[in-house]
Amino acid sequence: MNSNNEYIPFMSEIKEIIKHTEIEYTFRMTYDGEVKPGQFFEVSIPKFGEAPISVSGIQEGLIDLTIRKVGKVTNEIFEHYVGDKIFLRGPYGNGFDVDIYKNKELVVIAGGTGVSPVKGVIDYFSNNSKEVKNMTLIAGFKTPKDILFREDFKKWEENINIILTVDSLDGDEEGTYSVGLVTKYIPDLKFENIKEAVAIVVGPPAMMKFATQGLLDIGFLEENIWVSHERKMCCGIGKCGHCKIDDVYVCLDGPVFNYVKGKTFID
């Protein structure tokens, strides 16, 4: 088979399945090769089609794909168990360049499944916390039962500032959760020099809009904010046209954009 043929998927084995919620699991898959946080793979299930999924964790020989059960392809993925093999192709997209954030004051604001694409960055700086001046993660979920990556939050807490918040308690009064939208915590953030602080914002469109506005309001510079756009993607390789906005192909030039560019997007 021809190795220049990007459309042909390869087999990857499911090594572990981590269940976060009823409809959100992380599939830990075998993969050898370069991959960056924020890049994505096309999970390719014959008969059902393909779905673009961001990499939510990277280890030697393994990648994590956190998948939300929302369509016919993702439903089918949930029919698979540890030891099964599924087809993938990728990785695609630019991903996050962690070097940009080194030796800076870093804020990551993520909502819901938006934590997945940026999780590799959080992991990196949690493991190498000396490489940032300081780091805060504001992560928001709808209710306590929608919280993803609980185990990881425990680990991260040892190394970085964590604000884990839910929109509402939804009857769960046991845990000690902060309640409120991610934007509520932005004005309280403290910086040595806000003009040089950097931020990453990922999540649903409305949350991204208000969170970036919140950062600008406290004095962040537009060029110091990065966003990741979850788009309709199909081929992942700049051919099918589905991801195009203005002169940008999100699958090639993104999904990570500096806000100066990202703010100009009109669907």
Partner 1 sequence: MGFSFSKEGINNVFKEWSKDYIIYAPKRIIGGGAFSDTDSIRYEKIDTVDEIEFNVKSTFSFKEILLPISQTLFFFTEDEVKEADGPKKGAIIFLRSCDLHAVKRLDEIYLRNGFEDYYYKRIREKGKFILIGCKSAFENCFCVDMNTNKIDAYDASLEPTENGYVMDNKCQDWEELLLNNSLSQDEVNPSYVTETKIHVNIPEGLSIDIAKSKMWDEYDSRCINCGRCNFVCPTCTCFTMQDIFYTDNGKVGERRRVHASCMVDGYTDVAGGSSYRKNNGQRMRFKVLHKIYDYKKRFGYHMCVGCGRCDDICPEYISFSNCINKLEDAIKEVNGNE
CB of 229 vs partner 1, minimal distance in Å: 12
From the list 104, 124, 82, the residue with the least C-alpha distance to 192 is 104
Q: Does residue 244 belong to the site contacting partner 1 (CB under 8 A)?
A: yes
> Closest approach of Cβ 139 to partner 1, in Å?
21
Interactions with partner 1, residue window 52-81 (CB under 8 A): 68, 70-71, 73-74
User: Which of 159, 222, 237, 258 touches partner 1 by CB under 8 A?
Assistant: 237
- CA–CA separation, 110 vs 70, rounded Å? 20
Nearest approach, Cβ of residue 68 and partner 1 (Å)? 8
Ordered DSSP codes for 132-169: SSEEEEEEEESSGGG---HHHHHHHHTTSEEEEEES--
| 62 lies in the site for ligand FES, by CB under 6 A | no
Give the separation between CA 211 and CA 205, rounded to whole angstroms.
10
- Taking CB under 6 A as the criterion, the residue among 72, 205, 239, 260 binding ligand FES is 239
State which of residues 9, 112, 140, 254 lies at the interface with partner 1 (CB under 8 A).
9
237, amino acid identity: I
What's the closest the beta carbon of residue 267 comes to partner 1, in angstroms? 4
Helical segments of 7-128, H only: 72-77, 115-127
Residue from the set 21, 30, 49, 155 that interacts with partner 1 by CB under 8 A: 49
Let me know: does 203 contact 109? Beta carbons within 8 Å. yes
For residue 49, state whether it binds ligand FES (rule: CB under 6 A): no
Matching residue, tokens 């043929």: 5
Of 104 and 231, which has the nearer Cβ to partner 1?
A: 231
Tell me the window of 42-50, 175-183, 235-243, 255-263 that interacts with ligand FES (CB under 6 A).
Answer: 235-243
Category of 187 on φ-ψ map: left (φ > 0), alpha (ψ -120 to 50) or beta: alpha
Given partner 1, ligand FES, none, residue 243, with its beta carbon under 5 to 8 Å by kind, binds ligand FES
Amino acid at 97: D
**Which residue, among 134, 118, 139, has the nearest Cα to 36 in the 3D structure?**
118
* Distance separating alpha carbons of residues 169 and 166, to the nearest angstrom: 7
Please, which residue, 160 or 248, has the CB nearer to ligand FES?
248
Q: Is 206 among the residues that bind partner 1 (CB under 8 A)? A: no
Local structure of 182: helix, strand or coil: helix
Rounded distance between C-alpha atoms, residue 56 and residue 100, angstroms: 19
Alpha carbons within 13 angstroms on the beta-carbon side of residue 176 total 1
176 binds partner 1 (CB under 8 A): no
Q: How far is the CB of 88 from partner 1 (least distance, A)?
A: 12
Of positions 16, 59, 61, 85, contacts partner 1 by CB under 8 A: 85
Q: What angle do CA 218, 219, 221 make, to 5 degrees?
A: 135
Q: List residues near ligand FES by CB under 6 A.
A: 233-236, 238-243, 249, 251
Binding site for partner 1 (CB under 8 A): 1-2, 4-9, 11, 46-51, 68, 70-71, 73-74, 85, 87, 231-232, 234-235, 237-242, 244, 246-247, 249, 251-252, 264, 266-267
